[in-house]
């Protein structure tokens, strides 16, 4: 038996509202399958399950707001018998609360989580009436988005994460100017040959080069947890994506360093489409190992980001614009990009950060090798 | 389809825009001002508009022609030329 819990979808999330289940008791689920939709301060997220199994019971019904870590459903391992599961869950439940058998049955029928039910009687035994009340309270399934305070919620989430970042993370900042002549030319000639549906955006070779440069300076990729750095072997590139109407999210493109430019474009397209449509997956929200932010579209020359905790670095890209650029004593006008790095000084020093930006520059001078 | 006129092309552009940014009131778009800044279309949104026009009008707009699509008026002039050219070769 295993418990499927409300996942943490970022350092700034403490609770989520279950919007709907995609599963019912008796269903077989596969690792990675989207089983539920949860409304968070950052919108509705598709939540995946992390093991194969059979759905034994749903403990929370749509509309209920539950804290991170709360059990949402009980799963039975493949081959595990139902009896084992029932026994185990019953035992867990009794340890927690005194519940009348009738109330327990009703809670199961209605999908109410007993842990969230407050008994009215002073002796603390949960009755059928308590369960009914809890079920009714959970009913108004008006999501935050529908209730209109969604933007306020998102601002709150951003405020919490960014305040924590500036309070706790000793940022250092570096920037370098990169000649984008070769990348621009490579994109232009490549896109001429591609059908319109397969064109690459300039962001794509930049994403690939950032991911590859991170391989060379692993101190920028991972998390600061419990007072120490935990490097990540995978490079999950969090893409800061503005939402129409305000706010932003930074979901991950997984294993960005090992994806081809075509695969990255497809992943970016999928991600942006779902950000705008309001449907991200829990894994994307939870596991970016580093963030990339790009504000060049708005014409800014350079951006110095605020690290999203518990990550330890954020890379900022400005506008690609023609600027005078001296090479070998001659001033040319070339498409230039200012790339910046804000990194956590507890984990890395300026020297390593400088090596990262140098690697990024080097990689962008050979775009045909980005793959 | 028959050669689209300016109004039909405008409808096609508005349909492409609202499919990407449904909150936009196309009546507010000033035809002589830069389109992308007015309605906050980033390069990804703009590429989707181009793809959508490719689907509805059957024309492939190369990147080198994006410059002609900067304003609504410019885009209409350009599309009228392109669609007309397609229907009457030579």
Q: Is A209 a member of any domain?
A: yes
User: Which domains, ranges and CATH numbers included, belong to chain B?
Assistant: 6-87 (1.10.1200.10)
What's the gap in Å between the CA of B6 and the closest CA on chain A?
Answer: 23
**Identity of the residue in B23, B42, B50 whose CB atom sits nearest the CB atom of A297:** B42
Q: Which residue of A has its CA nearest to B52?
A: A197
Mutation target among B20, B36, B44 for the A interface, most CBs of A within 10 A: B44
Same domain membership, residue A353 and residue A277: yes
Judged by a CB distance cut-off of 8 A, whether residue A268 touches chain B is: yes
Q: Is A192 a member of any domain?
A: yes
Q: Is A325 a member of any domain?
A: yes
Judged by a CB distance cut-off of 8 A, whether residue A226 touches chain B is: no
Query: What is the CA angle A345-A347-A349, rounded to 5?
Result: 55
Same domain membership, residue A115 and residue A173: no
Same domain membership, residue A276 and residue A349: yes
Same domain membership, residue A111 and residue A232: no
Q: Is A340 a member of any domain?
A: yes
Q: Do A297 and B54 touch (CB under 8 A)?
A: no
Alpha-carbon torsion, ordered B46, B51, B54, B59, to 10 deg: 60
**Identity of the residue in B43, B61, B63 whose CB atom sits nearest the CB atom of A297:** B43
In chain B, residues with a C-beta closer than 8 Å to the C-beta of A195 are: 60
- pLDDT tens-digit profile, chain A (371 residues): 788 888 887 766 778 889 889 998 989 998 888 899 888 877 778 888 888 889 999 988 888 888 888 889 998 887 666 554 444 444 343 344 577 777 777 777 666 767 667 666 556 677 777 777 666 655 433 444 444 567 788 888 889 889 999 999 999 999 999 999 999 999 999 999 999 989 999 999 999 999 999 999 999 999 999 999 999 999 999 999 887 777 788 899 999 999 999 999 999 998 888 887 767 888 788 789 999 999 888 789 999 999 999 999 999 999 999 999 998 999 999 999 999 999 999 999 999 999 999 999 999 999 999 98
Same domain membership, residue A345 and residue A305: yes
Same domain membership, residue A202 and residue A108: no
In chain B, residues with a C-beta closer than 8 Å to the C-beta of A193 are: none
Same domain membership, residue A253 and residue A213: yes
Q: Is A162 a member of any domain?
A: no
Which CATH number does the domain housing residue A30 bear? Answer: 2.40.50.100
Q: Are A251 and A306 in contact (CB under 8 A)?
A: no
Q: Do B43 and A202 touch (CB under 8 A)?
A: yes
Q: Is A151 a member of any domain?
A: no
Same domain membership, residue A189 and residue A93: no
Which CATH number does the domain housing residue A227 bear? Answer: 3.30.559.10
Q: Is A154 a member of any domain?
A: no
Same domain membership, residue A178 and residue A138: no
Q: Are A344 and A169 in contact (CB under 8 A)?
A: yes
Chain mean position to CA A257: 18
Q: Do B47 and A242 touch (CB under 8 A)?
A: no
Cβ-based neighbours of A275, under 8 Å, separated by 6 or more: A241, A243, A249, A251
pLDDT at A80: 66
pLDDT at A142: 41
What value does the CA radius of gyration of chain A take, rounded to a whole number of Å? Answer: 24
Please tell me the total count of domains within chain A: 2
| Reported pTM | 0.72
Same domain membership, residue A232 and residue A176: yes
* Chosen domain end from A94, A113, A146: A146
What three-state secondary structure class fits B45?
Answer: helix
For B17-72, how does the pLDDT look when each residue is reduced to its tens digit (9 = 90+)?
Answer: 988 888 888 888 999 999 888 888 888 889 999 999 999 998 889 999 999 999 99
Q: Which residue of B has its CA nearest to A299?
A: B37
Same domain membership, residue A221 and residue A100: no
Q: What is the largest CA-CA distance in chain B?
A: 41
Cβ-based neighbours of A251, under 8 Å, separated by 6 or more: A238, A239, A241, A271, A275, A280, A281, A284, A285, A288
Q: Is A158 a member of any domain?
A: no
Query: What is the CA angle A9-A21-A5, rounded to 5?
Result: 40
Same domain membership, residue A262 and residue A214: yes
In chain A, residues with a C-beta closer than 8 Å to the C-beta of B51 are: 196-197
What three-state secondary structure class fits B71?
Answer: strand
Cα end-to-end span (Å), chain B: 19
Q: Are strands A43-48 and A34-40 parallel, antiparallel or unpaired?
A: antiparallel
What's the gap in Å between the CA of A214 and the closest CA on chain B?
Answer: 25
In chain A, residues with a C-beta closer than 8 Å to the C-beta of B62 are: 192
* Other Cβ atoms closer than 10 A to B40: 14
Domain containing A238 equals 169-369
Contacts 24+ apart (CB under 8 A), A247-250: A247/A42, A247/A151, A247/A154, A247/A155, A247/A158, A248/A158, A249/A42, A249/A43, A249/A275, A249/A280, A249/A285, A250/A288, A250/A291, A250/A293, A250/A308
Judged by a CB distance cut-off of 8 A, whether residue B63 touches chain A is: yes
**Identity of the residue in A188, A197, A272 whose CB atom sits nearest the CB atom of B44:** A272
């Amino acid at each position: 038996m295993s418990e499927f819990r409300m996942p943490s979808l970022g350092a700034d999330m403490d609770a989520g509202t279950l919007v709907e289940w995609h599963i019912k008791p008796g269903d077989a689920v596969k690792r990675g399958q989207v089983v539920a939709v949860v409304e968070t301060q950052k919108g509705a997220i598709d939540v995946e399950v992390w093991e194969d199994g059979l759905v034994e019971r749903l403990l929370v019904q749509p509309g209920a707001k539950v804290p991170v870590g709360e059990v949402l459903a009980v799963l039975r391992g493949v081959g595990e018998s139902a009896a084992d599961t029932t026994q185990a869950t019953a035992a867990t439940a009794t340890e927690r609360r005194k519940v009348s058998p009738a109330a327990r049955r009703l809670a199961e029928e209605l999908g109410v989580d007993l842990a969230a039910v407050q008994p009215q009687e002073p002796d603390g035994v949960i009755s059928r009436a308590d369960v009914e009340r809890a079920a009714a309270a959970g009913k108004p399934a008006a999501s935050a988005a529908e209730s209109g305070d969604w933007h306020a919620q998102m601002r709150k989430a951003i405020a919490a994460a960014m305040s924590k970042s500036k309070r706790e993370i000793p940022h250092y900042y570096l920037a370098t100017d990169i000649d984008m002549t070769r990348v621009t030319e490579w994109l232009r000639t490549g896109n001429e040959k591609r059908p319109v549906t397969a064109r690459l955006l300039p962001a794509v070779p930049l994403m690939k080069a950032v991911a590859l440069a991170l391989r060379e300076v692993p101190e920028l990729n991972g998390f600061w947890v419990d007072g120490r750095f935990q490097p990540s072997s995978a490079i999950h590139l969090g893409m800061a994506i503005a939402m129409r109407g305000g706010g932003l999210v930074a979901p991950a493109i997984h294993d960005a360093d090992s994806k081809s430019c075509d695969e990255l474009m497809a992943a970016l397209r999928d991600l942006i489409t779902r950000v705008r449509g309001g449907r991200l997956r829990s894994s994307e929200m939870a596991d970016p190992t580093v963030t990339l932010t790009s504000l060049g579209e708005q014409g800014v020359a350079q951006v110095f980001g605020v690290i999203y905790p518990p990550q330890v670095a954020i890379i900022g890209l400005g506008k690609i614009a023609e600027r005078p650029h001296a090479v070998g004593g001659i001033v040319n006008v070339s498409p230039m990009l200012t790339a910046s790095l804000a990194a956590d000084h507890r984990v890395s020093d300026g020297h390593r950060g400088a090596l990262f930006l140098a690697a990024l520059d080097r990689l962008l001078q050979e775009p045909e090798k980005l793959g | 389809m028959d050669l689209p006129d300016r109004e039909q092309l405008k409808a096609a552009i508005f349909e492409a825009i609202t499919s990407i940014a449904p909150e936009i009131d196309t009546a507010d778009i000033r035809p002589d001002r830069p389109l992308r800044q007015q309605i906050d279309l980033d390069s990804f949104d703009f590429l989707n508009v181009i793809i959508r026009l490719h689907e509805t009008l059957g024309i492939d707009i190369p990147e080198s022609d994006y410059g002609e699509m900067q304003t609504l008026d410019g885009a209409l002039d350009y599309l009228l030329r392109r669609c007309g050219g397609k229907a009457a070769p030579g």
